[in-house]
Structure 1
Amino acid sequence: MKKSLWLFIMITFTFLLLLGCSSNNEEADKGESDDDSTKSGEQIEISFSWWGDTGRHEKYNEIIDLFEEAYPNIKVDRQFGGWEDYWDRLTTQVSGGNAPDVVSMHQFYVSDYARRGALHVLNDKVENGELDLSDFPEAALDSGKVGEDIVMVAKGITMPGFVYNTAVFDDLGIDYPESDWTWDDFVDKAYEIKEAMGGDGWAVEDGSGGQLQPLFRYFARQSGQDLFTEDGKLGFDEQVLTDWWTMWDQMRQDGVIPDAATSNEYEGLPLEANMFATKKVALLGLPANQMYLYEEQMAEGEINIVRHPHIEGGPNGEYIEGAYLSITEDSPHKDAAAKFIEFFVSNDEAIKIFKTEQGPPAGTKASNLVLEELTLPEQRAVEYIQTTVELAEPAAYAPEGVNQVETLFSDNAEAIAFGQKSVEQAVADFLNEARSILEQ
C-alpha cells in the first residue's frame, strides 16, 4: 500500500513538472516569434535598401559591416541604386509584397507609403525603449511622423540650395551669386554665365521638370502656394506653373540651359561624370550635405552654396528636409530591423562614418560627435544648414498618388523640352490629369 501511494505521488509530481515545463515552453514560443529571433541568437537575415552614389554605397556598407560584427546572428542583405531606380523598385516591391525590412524613406513620399499601410508604426517601440531615440530632439522625432504615428527615423537633416565652384567663376571672370538673390537675379546670372562660357557649356542644368521638389516646390511656396494642400489636393494654380515652365523654356531656347537631348544624355550618370563635376554647367541645385563630394572631385576651387532664389516680396520657400529609415509593415523581423535602425543613428563608429552624408545626424550626441570629425567642406555645409533651417516653415505631406503626379510633371516638362507641347498645353494637361489622380 505504501509502495503504491509513493508511486502515485511520484507519477503525479512528474506529471506536474512536465506540465509546468510545457507551459513555460508555450509561453516562450508565444513571446519568441520569428520577429523576436534577435533574443534567441537564431541566425536571420534582414534586407536594407537605399539610394545614392558610389561614395554613399561605400559608407553604408561600412556601417552594415559594423552592425553585423555587433550582431553576428543578423546578416543584412544590401540593396541600393540611383534615386529614380530606387523609388521605381520600391513601388514594385511593396506592390508585390516583397519589400525590404528596412527602407530609406523621404518626406516627399512617406505619406503615400504610410497611407497605404506599407510602413510599420514605431510608436510602441520608441515608447518602450526598444528603439531608443531618447537623444532625439522633439522636432527631429516629430519630423518622422505622419499624423500622430512615427513611421520613420531621421538619419540626417539637410537644406538644399545652388552650389558653384569658385574656380569656375574666377576663370569666367564672373561675380559669385549672392545668397539672398531673386529668380530674376538667377536668370540674369545664367545669361551672364552662358555668354562667358560661349560654346563650352551652359549656365545650369534644366530644372524645369524631374522632381516636383525642391526647385518647383520652392517657387510655388514663394508664390504663397505649395505643391499640395493639407487635405491632399493640388496646392498651386495655373499661373504659377505657367511662369515656371515659361522661364525654363525661354532659357532653353536661348541656349542658356542644355537642350532636351543633351539633358537626357547626362541623366543618371554617376556624380563624377555629371554636368557640374565635368564643368559643363556652372550652377547646380543640390542638398548641402553633398557639397563635399564635388569638392573631392575637383582639382581646384571651393564648392560654395547659396539659397534657392526667391520671389521679390514673397514668403520663404524653405522647409525642413531629411533622409529617414522606416520598417516595412510586412517585415517578419521587425525587432532586428529596429536594432539596425538604432545602431545606424546612434552607434559612435557608425556616426563617424556617416558624418553628414545626408545631413547632420538628428540625435544631439551624434551631431556633437560629428562636428569633431568634419572636413572644411562639410563644415561649410553644416553652417549653411544651421542658417537656412531657421527660415523653414511647415510643408504639407504629399498625398497618396504623389508618384503618379510626379511622373506626370516630369513627362509634361520633357514634352515642352522636346517641342512636343507648348507650355500652355502642358500646363492644361498636367493640371487636368493631376487633379483627376488626387481626387480618386
Structure 2
Amino acid sequence: MGTSRDVERRTILKAAGASVAALGLAATTGCGGSGGTSADGTVTLRYAWWGGEPRAIAIKKTIALFEKKHPKIRVKPEFTDYEAFWEKFQTQASGGNPPDVFQNAVGFLRKYDRRGVLMDLKSQADAGNLKLENFRNGVLANGQADGKQIAVPVGANTMALVIDRKAFEKAGVQAKFGWTWDEYFDALQTVRDKLRIAGDTGYFSIMYLYDLYLRQHGKAFFTEDGLGFTQDDLTQWWEDGYKRVKSGLVADPKKVEQVKPKSALSAGLAASEFTWDNFSIRYEGEGESDYGLAPIPTTDGKDTGQYLGSLMLSAFAGTEHPEQAARFIDFMVHDPEVGSIMGYDRGILATTEQYAAFTPTDPTAKGVAAYEEEVATAGVLGKITPHPSGADVVEAAFLRIGGEVAQGRTKPPEAARTLFGEAKAAFAG
C-alpha cells in the first residue's frame, strides 16, 4: 500500500511519477491479456506481480498447485521488481495488452479503473466463479471503488514503528500503546542524548504516516478526488521535521543515502523507523541488533488513525477468459494450501481459510501477527483512506520533495506549494 523505506517501495514509482500521460485503451476488445486457447480447449492466463525472488518461488508453487487442480488452465508467470513492474504495466495498458490477472495496490485502483483496465469482479462473483466472503477485518472493501469490486485482497498490513530494542532499552525508554507524539519525540531525544544516535530515520517524508497523523486530526491525505489537507498543514509538518533533522533527532539524510539499499535503522544510524508491519523482516536480515514492532504515536492518547492496507489481485477487463481469471483469483485468495505456501510474504493472510492454514514459526512473522492482533483488539482500526486517480504520482512526489526538505535544498513553504502543484496535475491527468 505506500512508501516506507522498504527496498521495493523505496523505488517508489519513478515510472508512474515521471508521466501522467493518458492511456488510450481499448479495454473491452478482447485483443489483449490472454495467452489464448489451445486446440484441446486448454486456456492460458498471464499472471504478473512484483517482488523479490522468495515471493516468486512461493507464487510459482501456488501456480503449480492451481494447474494440478485445474488441468485445462495454464498460467504464465511474469514478475519483476516494483519499479519495473509499473513501468511495464503502463506500457501494456497503453497497448491494451495487460496481464489477465495481476498484483495491484490501492494507489493504482482508480487510475486504471478510469482507463477501463480493471474488471468489476462482482459479475464473476454473481456467476459463482469467485467468492467475496470470509475476508478478515473488513479488508475486502480495500478493493472497492465507485461501487465496483475491482480488486481482491491477498494480504493485509498496517503501519507500525520498528524500533531497535537494544537501543531503546539502553536509553531507558519504552514504547507503549496510547503514547503521544510528544512522548515519542521525548523518547527519541533521550536516545539521542544517551546513545548519540538519531532517534528516527526520516519520518516526515512517508506519505502513509502523514495520512495517519492527519486522520488523528479529523482529516486525511486523500479525499475521493483530491487532497484532504492544506498547504499550511503540510508546511508545518515539514518544518517540524526539518528542525528535528537539524537538531540531530532525525538521521542525517546524507548518511541515510550513503547506506542504501540498507535501511538507516539496521545500519545503526537511528533507533526507530516507520514502515508497514510486514516489511519488518528486512531489519533482522540487514542489521545486527534486535528489532521489534511498536505502536504508532497518537494525538489524543488513543486514536492512531490506522487501517489495514492490502496487496490485491485484479483482472483485466478485456481478458478473453474472464471466468478462468476469476477462478484463478478465487483459488489464490481462498485455497488453504496457497495460504500455507505464501505465509505472510504479502501481509497477514486476508481470508479466514488461509489465515487458519498458516501458523508462523519464525519470530518476525509471529511478531507481525501479534502486532496486528493487538491493533485490532485495541479497536483503533478505521477504513482505508480513498485514493483518487493520480495517487501513485502524488506518493512519489511526496517522497521526493520530503527528501529535498530533509537535505535543506527546499524550504517547507516552497515544498508544500510544489507538492500541491504536482498533485493538481496528477489528478487532472
With normalisation by structure 1, the TM-score equals 0.79
Shift of 1:197: 3.8
| Superimposed CA distance per residue, residues 349-405 of structure 1 (whole angstroms, 9 cap, x where no aligned partner) | 2110112222322222222222x4544432332232133243122244211122332
Following the alignment from structure 2 to structure 1, what is the Cα–Cα distance between the partners of residues 300 and 137?
33
Give the corresponding residue for 2:297.
309
Give the corresponding residue for 2:317.
329
Give the corresponding residue for 1:205.
201
Q: Assess if the C-alpha contact under 8 Å between 1:223 and 1:240 holds in 2.
A: no
Give the corresponding residue for 1:15.
none
Q: State whether structure 2 residue 249 is matched by structure 1 residue 262.
A: no
Following the alignment from structure 2 to structure 1, what is the Cα–Cα distance between the partners of residues 383 and 314?
21
Shift of 1:162: 0.3
Structure with higher Rg: it is 1
Q: Assess if the C-alpha contact under 8 Å between 2:334 and 2:351 holds in 1.
A: yes
Q: Residues 354 and 34 of structure 1: is their aligned pair in 2 closer, same or farther, counting only changes over 3 Å?
A: closer
Pairs within 5 Å for 1:87-236: 87-136=86-135, 139-170=138-169, 172-198=170-196, 202-209=198-205, 212=207, 214-230=208-224, 232-236=225-229
Q: State whether structure 2 residue 273 is matched by structure 1 residue 284.
A: yes
Following the alignment from structure 2 to structure 1, what is the Cα–Cα distance between the partners of residues 91 and 250?
34
Q: State whether structure 2 residue 365 is matched by structure 1 residue 369.
A: no
Q: Residues 166 and 137 of structure 1: is their aligned pair in 2 closer, same or farther, counting only changes over 3 Å?
A: closer
Give the corresponding residue for 2:371.
384
Q: Residues 49 and 186 of structure 1: is their aligned pair in 2 closer, same or farther, counting only changes over 3 Å?
A: farther
Shift of 1:150: 1.0
Q: Assess if the C-alpha contact under 8 Å between 1:161 and 1:287 holds in 2.
A: yes
Give the corresponding residue for 2:231.
238
Partner of 1:438, secondary structure, is helix
Q: Assess if the C-alpha contact under 8 Å between 2:45 and 2:325 holds in 1.
A: yes
Shift of 1:286: 2.3
Aligned residues: 395
Q: State whether structure 2 residue 409 is matched by structure 1 residue 413.
A: no
Q: Residues 343 and 175 of structure 1: is their aligned pair in 2 closer, same or farther, counting only changes over 3 Å?
A: same
Following the alignment from structure 1 to structure 2, what is the Cα–Cα distance between the partners of residues 367 and 358?
12
Give the corresponding residue for 1:342.
330
Shift of 1:106: 1.5
Shift of 1:432: 3.8
Give the corresponding residue for 1:81.
81
| Superimposed CA distance per residue, residues 62-110 of structure 1 (whole angstroms, 9 cap, x where no aligned partner) | 323433444455132221213x444344334323433222221122332
Following the alignment from structure 1 to structure 2, what is the Cα–Cα distance between the partners of residues 85 and 180?
39
Partner of 2:320, secondary structure, is coil
Following the alignment from structure 1 to structure 2, what is the Cα–Cα distance between the partners of residues 279 and 138?
35
The letter for the 2-side match of 1:327 is: A
RMSD: 3.1
Shift of 1:39: 10
The letter for the 2-side match of 1:412 is: I
Partner of 2:204, secondary structure, is coil
The letter for the 2-side match of 1:343 is: F
Q: Structure 2, unaligned stretches of length 5 or more?
A: 1-31
Q: Residues 306 and 63 of structure 1: is their aligned pair in 2 closer, same or farther, counting only changes over 3 Å?
A: same
The letter for the 2-side match of 1:382 is: A
Shift of 1:142: 3.2
Q: State whether structure 2 residue 358 is matched by structure 1 residue 404.
A: no
Q: Assess if the C-alpha contact under 8 Å between 1:53 and 1:81 holds in 2.
A: yes
Partner of 1:50, secondary structure, is strand
Partner of 1:156, secondary structure, is strand
Partner of 1:208, secondary structure, is helix
Q: Residues 296 and 349 of structure 1: is their aligned pair in 2 closer, same or farther, counting only changes over 3 Å?
A: farther
| More helix by percentage | 1
Shift of 1:327: 0.8
| Superimposed CA distance per residue, residues 251-303 of structure 1 (whole angstroms, 9 cap, x where no aligned partner) | 22223333333333445x2xxx33333333321222223334544666663x3
Q: Structure 1, unaligned stretches of length 5 or more?
A: 1-32
Q: Assess if the C-alpha contact under 8 Å between 2:33 and 2:319 holds in 1.
A: no
Q: Residues 61 and 87 of structure 1: is their aligned pair in 2 closer, same or farther, counting only changes over 3 Å?
A: same
Q: Assess if the C-alpha contact under 8 Å between 1:49 and 1:78 holds in 2.
A: yes
Identify the range of structure 1 (237-246 vs 49-58) with the bigger mean alpha-carbon deviation: 49-58
1:320 to 308, 332, 345: 308
Following the alignment from structure 2 to structure 1, what is the Cα–Cα distance between the partners of residues 413 and 117?
37
Give the corresponding residue for 1:8.
none
